[in-house]
Chains A and B, each alone.
Chain A
Amino acid sequence: MAAEEHLDDVHAYLVYLTGDRTMAEELTAETFARACKAWKRYDPRRGSAKTWLCQLARSTALDHFRAEKRRRRREQTYASLEGREVTETFGEGLSPALERALAGLSAAEREVVALRVVLELDGEAVARLLGISATACSTRLSRALQKLEAEVKNDVVA
C-alpha cells in the first residue's frame, strides 16, 4: 500500500494533535485501517495521499475526542493534564522548553504547526483540510509560532 510511505507523517501529525504518543499510535493504526477500507474513495486529482491521510487521521482523532468527552461526562472524572511530567512527546531531541511550549498550545494550534511546519503541506491544502480559509490558517499558524517563541524565551529566562 502506497499510503504506508506516509506512516511517519500521519503519526507525527497525530502526536501533535493529541499531545499523547500512545494515543497517537492507536489513532494512527485506526487511521490506516480506515484508509484500507476507504482507499477506493481516494481521488488523486483532489489532493495528495498525504493530505487525504491527514484528513482521515483528523476525522479519526475527532471521533476519538468526542467519544472521550462523552465518556468523561458520564464518569464525571476529569483527568488533569496539569503537572504532567515532561517527556519526549513531540519529537526526539526537542528542547524541554519547546516540549513544554508545545504542550501548552491547544490541539487546534498544534495541528496547524504539524501540518504546515513539520509535514510541510502547502497553505491551501491545510486550509481545505481544516475547513477554514487560507488567511485564517496563516493567522493561526503565525499566532501558534509566536506563542511557542514566547514560551520558549520565558522558559529560558526562568
Chain B
Amino acid sequence: MSSPDPRHEALANELRAAKPKAPAELRERVAALEPPTRERWSFPRISARRVSVVLVPACLLAALGAALIHGLVNSGAPTQPAAARLTEAHGASARPALPGSPDAPLGAVPQQFKSPLVPSSRLQRYDVQLKLRVGNLDGLSNATKRAMQATHHFGGYVAAVNYAAPTAKRGGARLVLMVPIDRVQDALARFSSLGTILAQHVSIKDVQKQVDEETSGIAKLRRQISGIRATLDHGSLSAEKRRSLERRLASGQRRLRALHGTKSATVRRASFAQIKLALVTRKAAAGHSGRLGRTFRDAASVLTREGELVAYALIVGGPLLLLGAAGIAGTRVTRRRSEERLLSGT
C-alpha cells in the first residue's frame, strides 16, 4: 500500500525498506511461549446487532401471539356477570342488591340488575348508567316507550330522550330518567327487563354532610339577621351606623335566600336517582355479539396494555439508559485523551 500523499512516496519507500526486523532472540522467546489453548466449547459469540435483529421481531411476535391467545381464550359468549359487572361505586353504603318488584307490570324480569343501591336514611345522590341491547328497531321503539311509561309510573320524570335510527336495521336511544329514590330499585328491575344488559355503572355520593353544612349555615345567618334587626329596632343609632346595618341586613337576606335555594336543590337532587339508559339494537351492538370481533377487541386491549408497559419502561428507564450511555461515552473520551497526552509526551 502506498502512502496517502504521492509527494511522500520516496520517504515511504525508504521507511518500508528499512522496516525493523525482530531479532532471533525475540523469535526464540515468542516461539517458546505456551501455544494458545482452544476452548473446549463455549456459547458462540453473538454481536449485539445480531441479537437485536433476532430479539426485536421475536418480542413483537410474542406480544402479538399473547394478545391473540388472550383474545381467543376470553372471547366466549358474553356472560351476564361479566357484562353486568359493577364498574364503579362511590359513597358510604355498598351492600348486596335488593330484588326488584315482583309484581312488575312490564313483564317478567329475565335478569336482575345487580346494584348496591339500598334505602338509606342519609341523603345520597344516585347516578346509574345502564346499557341494554334490544332485538331490532321495533324492540328499540317499544323499549323506549316502556322505559318512559315506567318512569312516570314510579313518580319520576323523563329529563331527556335522544332516539336515533340512522338505518332501517339499527339504531339507538339515550334516555335520562329521574326516578324517586325510594322506587329506584323497582325502576332498575323494570329497565333491566327491557333487553340484555351490556354494561352498568352505579355511582353513589353521600350529600348528607353537604346538606347539614348548608342547614347550619342557614341557622347561623338567621341568627345574624335577627341580631341586626334587634339592633336596628333599638332606635338609638346614628344615621351612618343605621345605614351600615341596613346594608348588612340586605346582604344577609340575599345570602340566606341563596343558601335556601342551594339546599333545596341538593335535597331535590338527592330525592331522585338519575338513570342514564342507553338502548341499542343488535346490529349497533355488533361489537358485543361476534366472537371474532370480541377476539380482536380483547387482543387489541392486551396490545394496548403491552404498549403502555413498554412506554412506562421507556419513560422510567430511558433517562437511566441515557445517563449510562453518556457515562460510557465520557469514560471513553477521557481515556482516549489521556492516551493521546501520554503518547504526545513520549
Query: Which A residues are closer than 8 A to B by beta carbons?
Result: 1, 4, 7-8, 11-12, 15, 17-19, 21, 24-25, 28-29, 32-33, 35-37, 39-40, 43, 62, 65-66, 69, 90-95, 98, 106-108, 111, 113, 116-118, 120-123, 131-132, 138, 141-142, 145-146, 148-149, 152
What are the interface flags for B17-51 relative to A under an 8 Å C-beta threshold, 1 for contact and 0 otherwise?
Answer: 11111110111011101111111001001000000
Q: Is B4 an interface residue (CB 8 A)?
A: yes
With both chains docked as a complex, state the minimum distance between the C-beta of A24 and any C-beta of chain B, in angstroms.
8
Query: Which B residues are closer than 8 A to A by beta carbons?
Result: 1, 3-5, 7-8, 11-12, 14-23, 25-27, 29-31, 33-39, 42, 45, 332, 336, 339-340, 342-346
With both chains docked as a complex, state the minimum distance between the C-beta of A69 and any C-beta of chain B, in angstroms.
7
The answer on a CB contact under 8 Å between B343 and A36 is no
With both chains docked as a complex, state the minimum distance between the C-beta of A90 and any C-beta of chain B, in angstroms.
7
- A148: B residues at CB distance < 8 A: 8, 11
The answer on a CB contact under 8 Å between B17 and A93 is yes
Query: Ordered nearest first, which 3 A-B pairs have the shortest CB separation?
Result: A91-B18, A39-B36, A108-B343
Alpha-carbon separation in the docked complex, A25 to B22 (Å): 8
Alpha-carbon separation in the docked complex, A7 to B21 (Å): 9
With both chains docked as a complex, state the minimum distance between the C-beta of A116 and any C-beta of chain B, in angstroms.
7
Alpha-carbon separation in the docked complex, A75 to B68 (Å): 73
- A15: B residues at CB distance < 8 A: 20
- B8: A residues at CB distance < 8 A: 145-146, 148-149
How many CB-defined contacts (below 8 Å) exist between A and B?
129
State whether A11 and B29 are in contact (beta carbons under 8 Å apart), knowing that A94-B14, A116-B4, A117-B15 are contacts in the complex: no
User: Of the candidates B7, B14, B20, B35, which one forms a contact with A11 in the assembled complex, judged by CB atoms under 8 Å apart?
Assistant: B20
- A107: B residues at CB distance < 8 A: 342-344, 346
State whether A29 and B26 are in contact (beta carbons under 8 Å apart), knowing that A106-B346, A108-B344, A138-B4 are contacts in the complex: yes
Alpha-carbon separation in the docked complex, A19 to B12 (Å): 18
With both chains docked as a complex, state the minimum distance between the C-beta of A73 and any C-beta of chain B, in angstroms.
13
- A19: B residues at CB distance < 8 A: 346
Alpha-carbon separation in the docked complex, A90 to B336 (Å): 26
- B20: A residues at CB distance < 8 A: 8, 11-12, 15, 21, 24, 90-92
Alpha-carbon separation in the docked complex, A10 to B120 (Å): 94
With both chains docked as a complex, state the minimum distance between the C-beta of B336 and any C-beta of chain A, in angstroms.
5
Alpha-carbon separation in the docked complex, A149 to B343 (Å): 21
With both chains docked as a complex, state the minimum distance between the C-beta of A108 and any C-beta of chain B, in angstroms.
4
Alpha-carbon separation in the docked complex, A98 to B38 (Å): 44
User: Of the candidates B16, B21, B23, which one forms a contact with A120 in the assembled complex, judged by CB atoms under 8 Å apart?
Assistant: B16
Inter-chain pairs besides A90-B18, A131-B332, A141-B3, 4 sampled, C-beta below 8 Å:
A32-B30, A36-B34, A40-B37, A141-B4
With both chains docked as a complex, state the minimum distance between the C-beta of A44 and any C-beta of chain B, in angstroms.
12
With both chains docked as a complex, state the minimum distance between the C-beta of B36 and any C-beta of chain A, in angstroms.
3
With both chains docked as a complex, state the minimum distance between the C-beta of B332 and any C-beta of chain A, in angstroms.
8
The answer on a CB contact under 8 Å between A106 and B22 is no
The answer on a CB contact under 8 Å between A142 and B4 is yes
State whether A29 and B35 are in contact (beta carbons under 8 Å apart), knowing that A69-B342, A113-B15, A120-B16 are contacts in the complex: no
- B7: A residues at CB distance < 8 A: 149
The answer on a CB contact under 8 Å between A40 and B3 is no
Q: Which of B27, B29, B36 counts the most A-chain CB atoms under 10 A from its CB?
A: B36
26 contacts between A and B (CB under 8 A): A4-B30, A7-B22, A7-B26, A11-B21, A12-B19, A15-B20, A25-B22, A25-B25, A28-B26, A29-B29, A29-B30, A43-B45, A65-B342, A65-B346, A66-B342, A69-B342, A91-B15, A94-B14, A94-B15, A94-B18, A98-B15, A116-B3, A117-B12, A118-B19, A123-B4, A145-B12
State whether A92 and B18 are in contact (beta carbons under 8 Å apart), knowing that A4-B30, A108-B344, A138-B4 are contacts in the complex: yes
> What residue in chain A is nearest B336 (Cβ atoms)?
A131
Alpha-carbon separation in the docked complex, A121 to B16 (Å): 12
State whether A122 and B15 are in contact (beta carbons under 8 Å apart), knowing that A29-B26, A66-B342, A69-B342 are contacts in the complex: no
Alpha-carbon separation in the docked complex, A152 to B32 (Å): 40
Alpha-carbon separation in the docked complex, A90 to B38 (Å): 36
